[in-house]
Structure 1
Amino acid sequence: METLLILGAGGFGQMVKETALQLGYKKVVFLDDAAKGEDVIGMCCDYMLLHSEYPVAVAAFGNNRTRLQWTDKLIEEGYEVPAIIHPSAIVSPSAVIEQGCFIMQRAVVNTHTRIERAALINSGAVVDHDSVVCAGAHVCLGSIVKANCTIESGRKVEAGEVIFSTRRKIEGADSRCLEDAVYAFGFGPQCSYVKPFGEGHINETYAVYMPDPDGTDVPLYVLQRVNINVFKNPAQVMENIFGVTEYLRDVIRKEGGDLDRETLSYIKTKSGDTYFEDDQGQPWRCLHYVPNSVCYQQVERPEQFYQSARSFGHFLMQLGDYPAESLYETIPKFHDTVKRFHDFEAAVRKDVKNRARLCRPEIEFVLSREKDCGVLMEQLQKGVLPLRVTHNDTKLNNILFDGDTGKGLCIIDLDTIMPGLAANDFGDSIRFGASTAEEDEPDLDKVHFDIHLYELYVKGYLEMANNVLTPEETKSLPWGARLMTLECGMRFLADFLQGDVYFKTAYPEHNLVRARTQFRLVKEMEEQFEEMYEILKKYR
C-alpha cells in the first residue's frame, strides 16, 4: 500500500484520504475538476494518463451516480480499485465487500451481507445480516438497514432512517398463507421457489427450494399444512413429533448412524414455536428434506417390502424404552377397532348423503364381523398386550429408501405417533404391502392377499423387533393384519357414507372402491389365517 489516487477532493474525499492514511497508504493524491491544492494533481479526465504512476484508485464522490460511473471507469481502465474500510468499522468475515466500496467510521456490516461496488456505508450506519446494498447506493449517517433487506442501486438511505425488510414474490407460493409460512420459518429472503410435494392423503405438502453454494436450486426443506379436521390439536401433534424425533437422534447417535438421514429433523419457526399458525387458523410445520431418498407408493419388488419390515421393526426397537404413556393421544381411540365399528354403525344409521343404498353388501360385510373387532382391544384392557410408541400408519409410502442402496432409511409422516399396539403397526403394513394391487384398484380380480409377501415381512420385522416384543405381542401379529385391514375398510366406507370428509378423493366413489379392496383382502386373510400363524412360528 504505497500510493492511492482518489477521484474527488471534496469533503467525502478528504474523509477517505484520512482513512487511507490510517490503513497504511504512504501517499494519497487527488484528481478533481474544481478543487485546488498541493495534493490535487490533475482533473478527473487525467485518470488514464496517471494509471502507470498510480495503479490503485478509488472514486470518492458523494453523489451516488457519479461515484458509480467513475468506479466503473476505473475498473474498465484496469485500475486496482480497493474497498476502503475504516479501522473502527465492524465488518463480518462472511460479508462480501466489492470494489470501490466505502465502509466509514463505526459502521457495522453484519453476517452474510453483500455490499456491491461503489456503495457507501457512512459513519455509524448499520447493515444487518443477509441484506444487500446494491451498486452505488448510500446508507447515510446513523441509518439502519434491518436484516434481509435490499437497497436498490443508486438509492440513498437518509440519515437516521430505518429500513425494514420487504417481501419479495416467491414463485409457486400461490396463496398468502403459504407465503406467510415460508417467511415464518425464515426462508423468504433466500427461497427460490416452492412446489407441491408427495402424495399424501391428509396434509398439504410443499418442497422448499433454496440455492446451494454453486447457485443451483435444490430442495432443502419440506413445508406442510396440517389438516386440523383430522388433527384437532396441532400443538400436541408437534410435541409428540419433537419428543420422539429428538429421542431418536440420541439413539441414532449412539448407534453410529446418520442423524441427517435416519430420522426426520423438524425445525421451529423464527419465534421458536413448533409450528406456525396462519391468519386462517391453519397450522404449518417444517422439516429438513432428506436428499437422495425414494418413496414408493406400491411394492415394486419383494426386497422393498422386506426392507420396510426391517425399518418398522427397527423403529419399534429404537423406541422400546420411550415412555409411551407420555405421548398425547392426538386422535383419541385411533386404532380402537371396537369404537371404529360403532362409528361405522352410526354412519350407516345416519346415512347423511343417502349413499347406503349404493353399498349394501359392503355394509353387511362389516356388520357380520362385529365380534372380531374386540379381539385385540380385550387383550389390551386385560394387560396381556402392552402399549408401545407406535406409528399408526405403517404403509410402505411412509418409509424413505436410500436412492443408492435401496435400504430403508427413515420413517416419515409422524402425525399419528401415539401410544398403541405393535400388532396394529404390523397389521397396517401387511394390509397395504401384501396386497397385489393398489388400495384404490377398481378391478377386484386384481386384488389378492399375497401370503409370500406376508412371510417376507414377518421375517424382516422379527429380525429387528423379536427381542423387544413379548411372546403375546408376537402371537397377536396375524390378528393385527386382519383387523387393521378390516378397520381401514370400515373407515373408507364410513367416510364414503359421510360425504368424503376425511380422506382426499379423486372421484365420488373413490372411498367405496378403497373399502372394497380392503374387504377382499380381509376375506382372503380369513381363508389363510392358520397358514399366517404357521409362518409366524418359523421366525419367532
Structure 2
Amino acid sequence: MKRLLILGAGGFGHMIQEMAGLLGYEEAVFLDDAVKGADVVGKCCDYRAFVKEYDTAVAALGDNGMRLYWTEKLMEAGYYVPAMIHPTAVISPSAEIGNGTFVMQRAVVNTNTVIEHGVLINSGAVVDHDSYVACGAHVGLNSVVKANCNIESRRKVEAGEVVFSTRRKIDGVASRDLEDALYAFGFGPQCSYVKPFGEGHINETYAVYMPTEEGDEFAYILQRVNNNVFKDPAGVMENIFGVTEYLRNVIREEGGDPDRETLSCIKTKSGCTYFEDSEGQPWRCYNYIPNSVCYQLVEEPEQFYQSGSSFGHFLKQLGDYPASSLKETIPDFHNTVKRFENFTRALKRDIKNRAAACKGEIAFVLDREKDCSVLVKQQEEGTLPLRVTHNDTKLNNILFDADTGKGLCIIDLDTIMPGLAANDFGDSIRFGAATAEEDEQNLDLMHFDISLYELYVKGYLEATKDVLTPEEIESLPWGARLMTLECGMRFLTDYLEGDTYFKTAYPEHNLVRARTQFRLVDEMEQQFEKMQEIVRNYC
C-alpha cells in the first residue's frame, strides 16, 4: 500500500492530502499539534515514531521557516520526502525539483530551473527558465518569476507579483556597458569571468569564460566596436554575417570544418546582429575557436607562407560571392588618392601644432603623390576588377592551428568590402615582411625582408593564380609599396589630427609607427625590380 504521512493538518495540508489521492497514494494521514480528527494520528513531535509505518512523509506547512525546518527533520529521520507535483502542473524535463517541494495546480516550471527542497510553488505560478528558487521559498498564487532570477531561501513571492531578473556579480566586469552586453548575448546568468583579450588598435575585446564540468572554459569573444571608426555598425555586421554564413557552405563543400575555419557570429537574445549599449557603442560576439594561436610577428618563415596561402584561399573561396552586395562601411578605405588628400588637409590644419616635429616624414609623403594614383587609376579604368577583400590582411588576423601550424581561420572581418587583390596582398607584405613591429622606435631594427616576401608570394599565388587576372598579378608588388605608404600616411595623419583613430600609448606613438612604414617603403623602392621578378617567377 502506498501511504503518506503529512505534517500539518490545516488547509494546505488537506490540499496535499487531496493531491496525494490523485498521485496514487491509498492512505494519507496527518501529524498536527492542534488539529484533531480521525486522520490525525499524532503530534508533529511524534514523527520519529511513524517512520516504519509510513516511510514517506512531507511537511505541508504554510510558514516558510516551519516547512523548511520540518522537511529537513523528516529527511534526517530517514523518511523518503518526495516532491509533490500536481498532475496539472507543467514541469520541464530539464528542471530540478528538490525533496519536499510542492508544485500546485497549473503551476509551470520552465527549462533549466532549479527548485531546492521545501519550496512551495503555488497554484498558477510560473517560474521561467534558468531561474533558481532556494530552499523554503514560497512562489505565490499566479505570480511570475521571470527568467534568470534567484529567489532567496524562505522568501515569499506574493500572489500576482512579478519578479524580474537580478544580476549577479561577474569577475572582471568593471563597467555597466560590459555587463549589459554579457546579458544581451545571454551569458550573464552563467558567465564565470571575463578579461581583456587581444592587441587590436581599434576595438575593445574581451574573453568570456563559461563554467563546464571540467572547469572554466574560454568560450566566446565579446567585442565593443569603435563607432568613431565604423560609423555603420549595422552594415558591418550585415557584411560579416553574410560572408561567414556563405563561407560555412563553401568550407563544408570542401570537406572542412566550418566551426573552426570561419568565424561563427552570435546574435543577441532578441535576434539582433549586435547590441548597442547606453553610450550608443555597438557590441558583437563570436564563438572562440579553441586550439588556435595568433602571431603578432613572423616567428618562423613557414608562418608567412601559410599566411599567403590562407589569405589567397580566402579570396578564392569568396570568388563567387556578390561583391556588390557588401556595404562599403568605410568609404574609400584603400583609396590611396583620398588618403593623400586627407593627409594634406590634416597638414594644412595642423590642429595640434605637430607638423614642425615631423618635417622629414611630411616631405617623404609629399614626394610620392604620383605613386598614390597607380592602383586607383587602374581600378577606375577597369583594368583591375573589384573583389571581396579583407582589407586588413595582417598576420595577426589569421588563426593558426596549434597542432599543425597551418593557417586555419581568417578573423577581424570589420573591413570586408569590395576592393583590389593588390591591396590585400600589399597589406600582408607591409606587416609580415618587416623585421620589427610597426611601433619599433629603433629604425635600425626595421627592414623589408625580401625572402619573406618571396615566401608569401609563393603561398598566395599557389592559391590564387588560377583566379587572378594577369593584370592583377602584375599589380601585386605595387600593392606592397602602396599599402605600406598608405598605412604610414594614415599613422602620420592621425598624429597630426591628435590621435583620434588609432589607440596610442604615448604622444609620439603614431609618428613612430609612420616612420617604420616609411623605412619599409624606402627599402621596397630600392628592391622593386626584384619584387616584380619574384612575382613573375611564381606565375
Please state which band the TM-score falls in when normalised by the shorter chain.
Answer: over 0.9
Match of 1:101 in 2: 101
2-side partners of 1:46 and 1:215: how far apart? 46
Aligned identity (percent) is 75
Instruction: Report the counterpart of residue 170 of structure 1 in structure 2.
Output: 170
Residue 419 of structure 1: aligned partner: 418
Indicate yes or no: 2:14 matched with 1:5. no
Q: Which residue of 2 aligns with 1:241?
A: 240
Return the alpha-carbon distance in structure 1 between the equivalents of residues 168 and 492 of structure 2: 45
- What are the within-5 Å matches in structure 2 for residues 61-72 of structure 1? 61-72=61-72
- Tell me how far 1:434 sits from its aligned partner: 0.7
Match of 1:81 in 2: 81
1:51 CA displacement: 2.1
Question: Residue 304 of structure 1 aligns to a residue in which SS?
Answer: helix
CA displacement at 1:83 relative to structure 2: 0.8
Task: Tell me what 2:150 maps to.
Answer: 150
Q: Which moved more, 1:362-371 or 1:162-171?
A: 162-171
* Aligned-residue offset at 1:79: 2.3
Paired amino acid for 1:477: L
The CA deviation at 1:171 is 2.8
Shift in Å at residue 156 of structure 1? 0.9
Cα distance in 1 between the residues matched to 2:76 and 2:11: 26
After TM superposition, give the deviation of residue 323 of structure 1 in Å: 0.9
For residues 84-233 of structure 1, what are the structure 2 equivalents within 5 Å? 84-212=84-212, 214=213, 216-233=215-232
- Match of 1:527? 526
Question: What residue identity is the alignment partner of 1:131?
Answer: S
Superimposed CA distance per residue, residues 402-426 of structure 1 (whole angstroms, 9 cap, x where no aligned partner): 2222222211111111110011001
In structure 2, give the amino acid aligned to 1:62: G
Task: Specify the alignment match of 1:440 in structure 2.
Answer: 439
The letter of the residue matching 1:5 is: L
Deviation at 1:37, TM superposition (A): 2.6
> Shift of residue 487 of structure 1?
0.7
Please tell me whether residue 370 in structure 1 is matched to residue 363 in structure 2.
no
Aligned to 2:255: 256
Alignment of 1:289-328 (within 5 A): 289-328=288-327
Task: Tell me the residue number matched to 2:20.
Answer: 20
By how many angstroms is 1:144 displaced? Answer: 1.3
Equivalent residue letter for 2:277: D
Q: Which residue identity lines up with residue 504 of structure 1 in the other structure?
A: K
Give the match for residue 351 of structure 1: 350
Q: Does 1:468 align with 2:467?
A: yes
Q: Deviations over 1:83-126 (max 9, x none)?
A: 11111110000111111111111111111111111111111111
Amino acid at match of 1:343: N
Once structures 1 and 2 are overlaid, which stretch shifts more, 520-529 or 45-54? 45-54
Q: CA offsets per residue over residues 53-76 of structure 1, 9 Å max, x none?
A: 322222111111111111111222
| Structure 1 stretches of 4+ moved >4 Å | none
Residue 373 of structure 2 aligns with an amino acid whose one-letter code is G
Distance in 2, matches of 1:359 and 1:262, equals 43
Unmatched 5+ residue regions in structure 2? none
The corresponding residue for 2:360 is 361
Task: State the distance in 2 between where 1:25 and 1:253 align.
Answer: 56
Cα displacement (A) at 1:271: 2.5
Provide the rounded CA distance (Å) in 1 between the counterparts of 2:161 and 2:228: 46
Q: CA deviation at 1:267?
A: 1.9
CA distance in 1, matches of 2:214, 2:46: 40
Shift of 1:77: 2.4
Deviations 1:155-212 (A, max 9, x none): 1111122212223333322222222222222222222222211111001111222222
**Once the two structures are superposed, what CA deviation does each residue of 1:237-268 show, in whole Å capped at 9, x if it has no partner?**
11111111111122122223222221112222
Q: Counterpart in 1 of 2:516?
A: 517
Q: Which runs of 5+ in 1 are unaligned?
A: none
Counting only pairs closer than 5 Å after superposition, residues 27-66 of structure 1 correspond to structure 2 as 27-66=27-66
Instruction: Spell out, residue by residue over 1:109-159, the C-alpha distance to the aligned partner (whole angstroms, 9 max, x if none).
Output: 111111111111111111111111111001111111111111111011111
Query: Match of 1:389, as an amino acid?
Result: V
Segment of structure 1 superposing worse, 416-425 or 271-280: 271-280
**Structure 1 residues 43 and 238: CA distance shift in structure 2, 3 A:** same
Measure how far apart 1:215 and its partner are: 7.0
SS at match of 1:41: strand
Aligned partner letter, 2:131: S
User: 1:129 is matched by which residue type in structure 2?
Assistant: H
Which stretch shows the higher mean deviation, 398-407 or 379-388? 398-407
Q: Distance in 1 between matches of 2:310 and 2:359?
A: 39
1:316 alignment partner, SS class: helix
SS in 2 for 1:223: strand
Identify the range of structure 1 (167-176 vs 385-394) with the bigger mean alpha-carbon deviation: 167-176
Q: Which residue of 2 aligns with 1:405?
A: 404
Q: Counterpart in 1 of 2:536?
A: 537
Q: Distance in 1 between matches of 2:239 and 2:273?
A: 11
Amino acid at match of 2:90: I
> SS where residue 58 of structure 2 aligns?
strand
Structure 2 letter corresponding to 1:118: G
Of 248-257 and 382-391, the range deviating more from structure 2? 248-257
Give the CA RMSD over aligned residues: 1.5
Could you report, residue by residue, the CA deviation over 1:265-315 in whole angstroms, capped at 9, with x for unpaired residues?
222222222222222222222222222221111111112212221211111
Q: Is 1:274 equivalent to 2:273 in the alignment? A: yes
CA distance in 1, matches of 2:158, 2:198: 48
Instruction: Give the superposition deviation at 1:318.
Output: 0.9
Higher mean alpha-carbon deviation, 46-55 vs 341-350, is at 46-55
**Is the partner of 1:49 in helix, strand or coil?**
helix
CA distance in 1, matches of 2:129, 2:45: 38
Partner SS for 1:287:
strand
When the two structures are superposed, what TM-score results if normalisation uses the length of structure 1? Answer: 0.97
